[in-house]
Amino acid sequence: MTTEEMKRAAAHAALAYVPNGAIVGVGTGSTVNFFIDALQSIRARIAGTVSSSRASTERLRQLGIPVLDLNQVEGVPIYVDGADEVTARLHMIKGGGGALTGEKIVAAMAARFVCIADQAKKKDVLGAFPLPVEVIPLARSHVARQMAALGGRPVLREGFVSDYGNLILDVHGLDIPDPVGLEGRLDQIAGMVTNGIFARRRADVLLLGTDTGVSTLTA
């Protein structure tokens, strides 16, 4: 199976987790794009969606799938999103597509987080993928120094501005044996909007596309 086929298979498997009449939280990325396309087939049995990014909102609307304002919904029964890295404990690095802030907010509201990914994303320890952190432009150098003090090598994502007008630093060289601890520590840095560790609110289910089919892991 190709990577694309594994992503598509994981995305299709996520449809089974969508309750009838639900508002569906939709993440961002190429794997989620397969999910959005698949969601079209069950459009009639969902109440609508809430989206984590402008890119996903646009794709959903192009397919005629209603997108609600996150501030107008009280809860999100299910959130489906991809990951850049995911462990057996369902801790993740996210934000490769730069949508980490919207993703963390929708994830925080979600009753159930279903992560969809291809087998290359599964890791024993997080950190080989550079950790994305979203920063207020004024705080770029301050946050970069803080990340360097933690042993990372921050690199500004050139030419990228987030949906909220902010910058992304991709932090290389971090070993992350304690994702919950590091996520909390990074949340204390002034000027950092969001860090790409999703561990305190980890996924509840991982649907992993593999050469032999979709395997399911639960937290």
CA distance 26 to 29: 10
C-beta of 7: minimal distance to ligand 5RP in Å? 6
Member of 31, 101, 146, 195 binding ligand 5RP (CB under 6 A): 31
Longest dimension (CA), the chain: 51
Member of 25, 77, 96, 154 binding ligand 5RP (CB under 6 A): 96
Give whichever of 36 and 182 is closer to ligand 5RP, judged by the CB atom. Answer: 36
Give whichever of 72 and 86 is closer to ligand 5RP, judged by the CB atom. Answer: 86
Member of 1, 15, 19, 30 binding ligand 5RP (CB under 6 A): 30
Give whichever of 37 and 142 is closer to ligand 5RP, judged by the CB atom. Answer: 37
Q: CB under 6 A: which stretch of 61-69, 98-106, 149-157, 179-187 binds ligand 5RP?
A: 98-106
Among 49, 83, 77, which Cα is nearest to 63's?
49
Catalytic pick among 4, 58, 103, 134: 103
CA distance 162 to 115: 22
Q: Does 81 bind ligand 5RP (CB under 6 A)?
A: yes
What residues contact residue 56 under an 8 Å CB cut-off, 6+ apart?
Answer: 26, 27, 28, 32, 36, 99
CA distance 14 to 116: 7
CA distance 111 to 118: 23
- Three-class SS of residue 177? coil
74 has catalytic annotation: no
With beta carbons less than 8 A apart as the criterion, state whether 87 and 125 touch: yes
DSSP string, 148-170: HHTT-EEEE-TT---TTS-EEEE
Q: Does 84 bind ligand 5RP (CB under 6 A)?
A: yes
Member of 25, 77, 97, 209 binding ligand 5RP (CB under 6 A): 97
Binding to ligand 5RP, residues 99-138 (CB under 6 A): 99-100, 103
Give whichever of 142 and 157 is closer to ligand 5RP, judged by the CB atom. Answer: 157
Q: CB under 6 A: which stretch of 13-21, 77-85, 144-152, 170-178 binds ligand 5RP?
A: 77-85
What residues contact residue 8 under an 8 Å CB cut-off, 6+ apart?
Answer: 34, 209
For ligand 5RP, the binding residues (CB under 6 A) are: 27-31, 81-84, 94-100, 103
Residues forming the active site: 103
